[in-house]
Amino acid sequence: MKKLTSPYKWGMIIDLDRCTGCGACVVACQAENNVAICEKKEISEGRNMHWLRIERFWVGDYPDVRVRFLPVLCQHCHDAPCEPVCPVYASYHNPDGLNGQVYNRCVGTRYCGNNCPYAVRVFNFYDHTWPKPLDNQLSPDVTVRPRGVMEKCTFCVQRIRRAKEDARGAGRMIADGEVQPACAQTCPSEAIVFGNMADPQSRVARLSRSPRGFRLLEHLGTHPSIVYLKGGGREHV
């Protein structure tokens, strides 16, 4: 049997000091991953299908009011609360450290979504349609999820797979920066950086050692793969 270890541990850095809250990542993710278009009614029920959202926090009162942005996506936890509760192993951990979701195993119990402290798993409560010819935009690399299936950020696993095939064909490892999820690729201010945490020289590994680093709700012990870098800095010069 093939040994289930991998030279890759995919991880992400989100620098909150660079994030401007522009929303490019949200739409890039939706475009790359065939994320459904949700009507107003659906979102009013709290059933938005976005895999990546930008949380916005107000701090203080006028006129000393500040705003903090926090892009939240699947944290790809190494001790993921969503995984042990799935009765059909649809939610599983792959050797690269990705928290995978097998759509055709999912039976829609929604236990995983219930157990996720980051609220990043979204459930297809409805059959979503892409009115013709809008369906032409659907990416052939990514499954279109039917009703009754849980879905979430995959770190654009289809891109990772492709890069792995390319690298294997050339008999080498994936180079740093060679594979990027859609959100990191489009981020204008380069707030999002993606790479291999197992390589201590990679950009993500170096950034993850920043003193500004923290993990989201890290006291829960989920050991996320995403490291946030604190923003703010000096309030005045």
Partner 1 sequence: MKRRAFLKLSGMSAATALLAGCRSRNEKLIPYLVPPDEGITPGRANYYASACRSCAAGCGILVRVSEGRAKKIEGNPSHPVNRGKLCARGQALVQELYHPDRIVTPLKRSGARGSGNFTKISWDEAMRILTAQLKGVQVRGRDRLALVTPPFNGSLAELTAEFMKGMGSPHHVTFDLQSPEWLAAAYRENYGSAALPYYDLSETRYVLSFGADFLEHHLSPVHYGYAFGQMRQGRDTVRGHFAYVGGRLSLTAASADRWVPARPGTEGAVALAMARVILQEKLHDEGSLSANGIQAGSLLKGLAKYDVPRVAEFAGIQPQTIVELAKDFATTTPALAMVGEKVAFQSNGRASFRAVHLLNVLVGGLNRKGGIYPAAGPSTSATGGYAGLATLVERMRAGQIEAALIHGNPFHSIPVATGFQEALAKVPFVASFSSILNDSAMAADLILPDSSTLESWGDVVPVSGTREPVVGLMQPVVAPLHDTRQFGDVLLATAAALNGQAGAGQQKTYLDYLKGSLKKRGAADSPAQWNELLRQGVLLGKRGGESAQYRWSGGGGTPDVEPPRFVGDQKQFPLFLETYPSIKTNGGAALPWLQQLPDTMTTVVWDSWVEINPKTAAQLGIAIGDLVEVASPQGSVRLPAIIYPGIRPDLVAIPLGQGQFAGGRYAKGVGVNPLVLLQAAAEAGATHPAWQATRVSVRRISPEGNLVMHGHPQGSYRSELVGV
Which residues, 16 to 35, sit near partner 1 by CB under 8 A? 16-18, 20-24, 26-28, 30-32
Distance (Å, whole) CA 37 – CA 48: 9
In whole angstroms, how close is the CB of 144 to partner 1 at the nearest point? 13
Residue 32 or 151: the one with the smaller Cβ distance to partner 1 is 32
Residues 34-63 that bind partner 1 (CB under 8 A): 37-40, 43-44, 48, 50, 53-63
In whole angstroms, how close is the CB of 11 to partner 1 at the nearest point? 18
217 is an interface residue for partner 1 by CB under 8 A = yes
206 is an interface residue for partner 1 by CB under 8 A = no
Residues 68-97 that bind partner 1 (CB under 8 A): 68-70
In whole angstroms, how close is the CB of 129 to partner 1 at the nearest point? 10
Nearest to 33 by CA among 185, 171, 202: 185
Residues 163-202 that bind partner 1 (CB under 8 A): 163, 166, 175, 178-179, 182, 185-191
Tell me whether the omega of the peptide bond preceding residue 87 falls within 30 degrees of 0, making it cis: no
Site of tokens 């939706």: 30
Show the site string, 119-138: x = touches partner 1 by CB under 8 A, - = not: ------------xxxxxxxx
CB-CB neighbours of 221 under 10 Å: 10
In whole angstroms, how close is the CB of 9 to partner 1 at the nearest point? 20
What the block records as the tokens of 173 is 């490892």
User: Beta strand 226-229 with 10-15: parallel, antiparallel or unpaired?
Assistant: parallel
Distance (Å, whole) CA 214 – CA 229: 6
**Is residue 55 within 8 Å of 16, Cβ to Cβ?**
no
140 is an interface residue for partner 1 by CB under 8 A = yes
User: CB-side exposure of 112: number of CA atoms within 13 Å?
Assistant: 29
